[in-house]
Amino acid sequence: MVDLKASAFAGRWLAIATPIALVQIVIGAAVHATKLVDTTTPRIILPLYIYPEGDAWNPLFTAIKNNPTAAFTIVINPDSGPGQGTDPGADYSDNIKKLRATADTNQILELVGYVATGYGDKDPGLVKSQVLQYHNWTSAIRPDGIFFDETSTSSKWLSTYSGYTDFVKSLDWGVDTSSVKSITAIVKPVATSTRSTSTPKAVSTSKPKSTNKPTSSQKPKSTKKASTSTKKPKSTKTAKKPTSKRKTTNKHKRSNQNTAITILNPGTWPEDPRFYSTSADHIVVYESPLSNFDYAEYQSLTAGSNAGSDFQRAYIFNEVDPRNIATKDGKKFASIQQLVDGTIHGLNSTGGIFVSDLGEPQVYTEFSNVWQEFVTDVVAVST
């Protein structure tokens, strides 16, 4: 969970930075969308697999309101995807609107819809149909792009995932560009890479309602083994409507530019480095307990020529013990803030970070005990 393209594959990428925009051009293939993006502010990537009943999302609203300079990339997952209906239901719709209304005028708030891909085995037609479901939500609740979970980064699936991210970019999402502040472009060649041996990650279990009721006990799937959480909202009451007095239309203006956000989540370092040359904005290069993370290995991988851009790489750490913040190779951090700093600056990653003290299956179905501290630490490290 969950980096802007660089070099060449099946035709060459040329990234050109101008004072106005980052322009991505493909030679010998279709021209990709112009991308206006702030690539310097580190993203807080949040897999939000919590059903928005009552005040369930209040910790997120609080974090957004109290940290107006924080940049959030939030994964929306009504039912292991968009669900069965033409919209996610009243609870989701109301709370998505409230999310947008809570953000400060120039705050970066990006919403991406969850789509599982079955490590390449899922029918591409079904994957694209779920993308279109999100795209067809009304503009007030439509996400800003797609989070492709269960990503396989073996060479066999390169064209498949390149096709997925290109497909998302080809659609007009009416993405918010009001928070654009600075532009960068990084071009790096890619060749071969080493895959990290990360362990299975957690899975969440939000309970959809209305027309998006799950069938056969569906659960949002992460990039690793499924779990069996029993945390499901039981109440039938409708989520509260937004109470913010600020008008969304004055803040997150929609544009007609194809600035859709695309995230690939293999949960480990890509096997084939050419994945960094796809149109994926971010790639989750690690998603597992911090105790299984080899910091020195990732430092070495990051320093290589096959590491994509700083804005592509994203990290998700769970089971972080605030009393003993240590990695597999013995790297110790005195605080959550030091871990955040060691990721953003030590591993040169602005593409996304998430830190939780929870493990399976609660890691994505509950806000952790360190959530608010984590958000303020990202802000502190980013300024």
Query: Tell me: the pLDDT tens digits for 285-309?
Result: 999 999 999 999 999 999 999 999 9
Taking the C-alpha atoms of residue 267 and residue 203, their distance in angstroms, rounded to an integer, is 12
DSSP code of residue 284: E
| Reduced DSSP (H G I as helix, E B as strand, rest coil) percent helix, strand, coil of the chain, to 5 | 25, 15, 55
Single-letter amino acid code for the residue at 223: T
User: In the numeric block, which tokens belong to residue 374?
Assistant: 């984590």
213 — pLDDT class (breaks 50, 70, 90): very low
Nearest in space to 266 (alpha carbons), one of 350, 129, 160:
160
342: left (phi over 0), alpha (psi -120 to 50) or beta: alpha
Taking the C-alpha atoms of residue 147 and residue 83, their distance in angstroms, rounded to an integer, is 15
DSSP code of residue 363: G
Tallying the residues shown for the chain, one arrives at: 383
Which uninterrupted H or E stretch holds 336? helix 336-344
Taking the C-alpha atoms of residue 265 and residue 147, their distance in angstroms, rounded to an integer, is 7
243 vs 314, more confident? 314
CATH of 12-382, one of 3.10.20.30, 3.20.20.70, 3.40.190.100, 2.60.40.420: 3.20.20.70
Instruction: Return the beta strands (E) in the chain as ranges.
Output: 12-17, 22-27, 43-48, 71-76, 109-116, 145-149, 261-264, 282-289, 313-318, 325-326, 332-333, 353-355
Q: What is the model's pTM?
A: 0.74
Taking the C-alpha atoms of residue 346 and residue 299, their distance in angstroms, rounded to an integer, is 8
37 — pLDDT class (breaks 50, 70, 90): low
Taking the C-alpha atoms of residue 312 and residue 304, their distance in angstroms, rounded to an integer, is 14
Q: Are 339 and 322 in contact (CB under 8 A)?
A: no
Report domain extents, the chain: 12-382
What are 320-373's pLDDT values in tens digits?
A: 999 999 999 999 999 999 999 999 999 999 999 999 999 988 999 999 999 999
